[in-house]
Amino acid sequence: MRVPKKERQRLLQETIERNPFIKDEELSKQFSVSIQTIRLDRMELKIPEVRERIKHVASEHLDEVKSLSMSEVIGDMIDLKLDDSAISVLDIEKEHVFSRNEIARGHVLFAQANSLAVALINDELALTTKAEIRFSRQVHLGERVVAKARVIKLRGDGRTDVTVESYVGEERVFEGDFTIYRRGEEEQA
C-alpha cells in the first residue's frame, strides 16, 4: 500500500493530472500518508491547490468557447472586386492556435479562405460545394496572413471556381481551389 517517495510523487502528479478536482484529503487517503506529506509533495512538484487547479481548467475552457464562435475568424477584407478578386488580412491570435505549440489550426486558415471565396461571389446565395486545399507551411501565433482570392472560371450552370492563396510575408502558407455554388439554394457553404 505504501510506496517510496519518488514513486508516490510520480503517481501523485499523474493522479492530479487525470483529476484536477481531487482534494489533499482524498489524496492522503489514497496514498496512505498524512495530509502534510501530500502538501510537501505538492510544494516540491509545484502543484497548486485544488481551487487554483479548478480555476485553471475553467479558464482554459473559456478560451475554447471563444474559438467556437467563429464569427471573428474571418479577417479584414481590404480589397474586393466582385466576381473577380479579393484580399483579406488575418492576424493570428491566441484563439486561433493550438495552445500546445502555438501553431494556427487548419480550419482557421480554411475559414479565412472560404469566407473570402464566398464573399467574392456577386449573388444572393453563395455556398461552397467543393474544395481542395494544401497547407504548405505552418503559421505561428502573431503572424499576419494575407489571403488572395481570384475567380478562375464562371461556369454557366451556377458554379464558379475560385482559387485562394494565403501568404505570410513572401511565403505561401495555404492554397485552395474552391467551387462555389450560387443562387440555386441546394448546396452547402
Contact yes or no for 115/174 (Cβ under 8 A): no
CB of residue 60 vs DNA: minimum separation in angstroms? 19
Read off the C-alpha cell for 103. Answer: 501553431
Nearer to a copy of itself, 150 or 172 (CB): 172
Nearer to a copy of itself, 33 or 121 (CB): 121
Q: CB under 5 to 8 A by kind: which of a copy of itself, DNA, none does 109 bind?
A: a copy of itself
How many residues bind DNA (CB under 7 A)? The answer is 18
The terminus-to-terminus CA distance of the chain in angstroms comes to 59
119 scored as a contact of a copy of itself (CB under 8 A): no
The single-letter code of the amino acid at 14 is E
33 scored as a contact of DNA (CB under 7 A): yes
∠ Cα 174 179 184 (to 5°): 145
**Which residues lie across from 159 on neighbouring strands?**
181
Q: Which stretch binds DNA (CB under 7 A): 17-25, 62-70, 128-136, 139-147?
A: 17-25
CB of residue 188 vs DNA: minimum separation in angstroms? 41
User: What is d(CA 123, CA 182) in angstroms, rounded to the nearest whole number?
Assistant: 6
Judged by CB under 8 A, the residue of 87, 131, 141, 146 near a copy of itself is 131
- Rg, Å, the chain Cα set: 25
